[in-house]
Amino acid sequence: MALDQMQGTPRSSKDIRGVPVSYGDASAIEGLERAIEQSLSFRGDAIASIEAILAEHPRFVMGWLFKAGWLTQSMETRVYPQFIEAITRAEQLSGQANTREQGHLAAVKAWAAGDFFGAVQKWEAVLTQYPKDLFALGLIHYTMVLLGDVPGQRDVVARVFNLWDPDIPGYEFVLGFYAFGLEENRDFTHAEDLARQALDIRPDNPYAVHAVSHVMEMRGRQSCGIKFMKDRADVWGTSNFANHLWWHTSLYHLDLEQYDQVYDIFDHHLDSRRKDGNKYEELDAAALLWRMNLAGQDSGDRWVHLANKWEPAAQDTLYAFNDVHAMMTFASDDRVEAQDLLIHANKRYLESASDANAAMSREIGMPFCMAIQDFKRENYAACVERLLPVRYMTHRLGGSFAQRDIIGWTLLEAALRDKRYDLALGLANERAGLKPTSVQNWRAVARALKGLGDNSGAARATSKADALASA
């Protein structure tokens, strides 16, 4: 037996893609691969899987780094103790770590310090040296989505894509990453092609389904989107990503004013009152209810349990994207104290914070939170004044174009209710130009034209909306 094995550290090896691993036990490396596959396919419990491996192999440094890396994506304070413990254990073993693993360690340490962009740069250094490090590629891509780095979501994959081929395990995930990055950069045809290639390899790949759903959303292919999603719901509906994909399905119905179908999806798939849930699920629920309220639909008591779920996180100041969705629930359920706690916690945080989230909160998060309050208080003029200056900066909040569209729609609806019909017409025309198949967009055009006294123009826009709704 080799000396390093006798001392409890199996000799180094490689994973199934040829990427070096400092811990050479085959069962540990196979267990890590299963956890990576679970994480990227949104199946099972990747953290529980890697914890089982670490129980048997506590000196497996890449196992600890996987745990820390995957926990970065939750953006929830509840995982912070586990996250820090994983970093600590990896750091204790850093003497045996190889260059790749040292890079992963540097990245998660930067994340723990609040330097999300620095973490990305350190993962990118790993990927440059090891372009088949699938986990590093996934973390960079997902983090760029969280941070709203739109070109980066595409380009990080482009830099390594030609070094991959269908024979390399995990190629279908690389296709999915690239497809979503292309879609966010409005290269819709190429995006859909790659996503469908990914689905040919792995039909249950929810992230590839996600990329196609985004293409159809952005291009206004509502009926095709509904059919695509429902034809495959038996496959993606069992994944950990199902909640978000049901949210996407509901957006098609919302665009067509099919409100009963929207609430049916909410009540059967997004309503987490009977589930433990997590913040990602509750983001989708809050975002959908806010859109329904913008469309003039009554949500009944649905806001109550959502506000209950969000209230313990009112002072987290961890991620601005979370804060704005929490504020939607607090404002919609008239929880004044929770609103004040969120605003004051963020103000205190911004007085001294210099991490990546501070910029996101200062530039977009706080203005939108206060605009949400203004809107619910029917102070529509103030809502417009807060959102109009930042409408082209909203990518700094993070998330996708489809998610951030809620800001533009809130601005438009506030302008209409404030009777600023000239501004509202411009905003509505802009939305109709980007998505001319949206019933909602033509309704807004009609309302703005009617407000300006152009009754014939309003009638034409209404006829357009009616035709789309009945198609």
**Dihedral angle of Cα 63, 72, 76, 326, to the nearest 10 degrees:** -150
Domain 159-270: give its CATH architecture: Alpha Horseshoe (1.25)
250, 361, 439 from 253: Cα distances, Å: 5, 31, 10
The CA distance from 212 to 43, in Å, is 19
pLDDT (0 to 100) of residue 4: 40
Of 329, 364, 331, 365, nearest to 345 (Cα)?
A: 365
pTM, full prediction: 0.94
CB-based contact 196:231 (threshold 8 Å): no
**pLDDT at position 193 over 80:** yes
Backbone CA torsion sign across 14, 20, 25, 26: negative
The CA distance from 209 to 164, in Å, is 21
Summarize pLDDT for 124-179 with one digit per residue, the tens.
999 999 999 999 999 999 999 999 999 999 999 999 999 999 999 999 999 999 99
Amino acid at 217: E
Query: Two tokens at 353?
Result: 């914070």
Close Cβ partners of 337 (under 8 Å, ≥ 6 residues apart)? none
CB-based contact 381:404 (threshold 8 Å): no
User: What is the helix, strand, coil percentage profile of the chain, to 5?
Assistant: 75, 0, 25
Summarize pLDDT for 89-133 with one digit per residue, the tens.
999 999 999 999 999 999 999 999 999 999 999 999 999 999 999
Summarize pLDDT for 399-436 with one digit per residue, the tens.
999 999 999 999 999 999 999 999 999 999 999 999 99
CB-based contact 382:374 (threshold 8 Å): yes
- Dmax over CA atoms of the chain, in Å, equals 88
The CA distance from 281 to 119, in Å, is 25
Summarize pLDDT for 32-81 with one digit per residue, the tens.
999 999 999 999 999 999 999 999 999 999 999 999 999 999 988 889 99
Domain 1-148: give its CATH architecture: Alpha Horseshoe (1.25)
Please give the average per-residue pLDDT across 272-301, as a whole number. Answer: 85
Asked if the domains 1-148 and 159-270 are classified in one and the same CATH topology, the answer is yes
Residue appearing with tokens 């989505």: 145
Paired residues of 21 in beta bridges? 13
- Residue spans per domain, the chain: 1-148, 159-270, 273-412, 431-470
E strands, 332-468, where?
Answer: none
